Amino acid sequence: MEYTAGTVLITGAARGIGRACAFRFAQAGFRLLLNTRTSAAQLEDLRAELSARFGAVCLTSIGDAGDEVYVKELFQELNRLGGRLDVLVNNAGVSIVGLLQDMSLDEWNRIISSNLTSAFLCCRSAIPLFLHQGGGSIINVSSVWGNTGASCEAAYSATKGGINALTKALARELAPSHIRVNAAAFGAIDTEMNGHLSIEERRSLEEEIPAGRYGTPEEAAELIYDLAVNHAYLTGQIVTMDGAWT
């Protein structure tokens, strides 16, 4: 087992890619602050499992990462872990599938808040800590739809395109301060976010992917971990993992 002194904050950590990230960072010896908006029971089960399997020091927090007041409270929780932050993983997000013409303004605002505003708020709170410490790493979880756009997911694509642009711009802004900012743009990962697909739709999608299968949350987490802790000269990049789909 690896042991890396450090603290990581992961938003949207109860399920899918976020949950797999929590396992990967715990395995490496990180202290963890894990967030979820609605899946409190699942997050508590995760905390208990990480403690039992890895002896991980792990705090959990329930709240909306797109809410300014809550994010301030979330970052105050870092004081219980020594007041330090080494890695921020902006993973919180939702998907709304449907025609843009049928989307309400409330739905538009919700997906913008969950997927993009959450990253802004967490980055804004993390940067002063990184500046004080002399460095840090931000990983934004993006999507191939942020690169290419997707029919019936225009709003989701817009948020992930925004994440990509934020990643590139913020990396240029923070590189002189030894703070790296990168994004991982994933294709079809086998998580609950794809749960709306029928069996036939899943099979059809798999046939479109040259690799012939969905990616796993664990594969996604491994890429995020690698980007977070390695490659000191790598910043401002949108690294795509999609089995050659796009």
**CA 43 from chain center: how many Å?**
15
Question: End-to-end alpha-carbon separation of the chain, Å?
Answer: 35
3-state secondary structure string, 60-124? EEECCCCCHHHHHHHHHHHHHHCCCCCEEEECCCCCCCCCHHHCCHHHHHHHHHHHHHHHHHHHH
Q: Which has the closest alpha carbon to 89: 245, 207, 244, 222?
A: 222
For the chain, the maximum distance between any two Cα atoms, rounded to a whole number of angstroms, is: 52
Phi and psi at residue 163, to the nearest 5° = -60, -45
Specify whether 156 is catalytic. yes
Calpha distance 115→158 (Å, rounded): 10
> Among residues 170, 158, 160, 182, which one has the least CA distance to residue 232?
182
Per the residue annotation, which of 70, 156, 214, 225 is the catalytic one? Answer: 156
Angle ∠(232,47,222) on CA atoms, nearest 5: 30
Which residues does the annotation mark as catalytic?
156
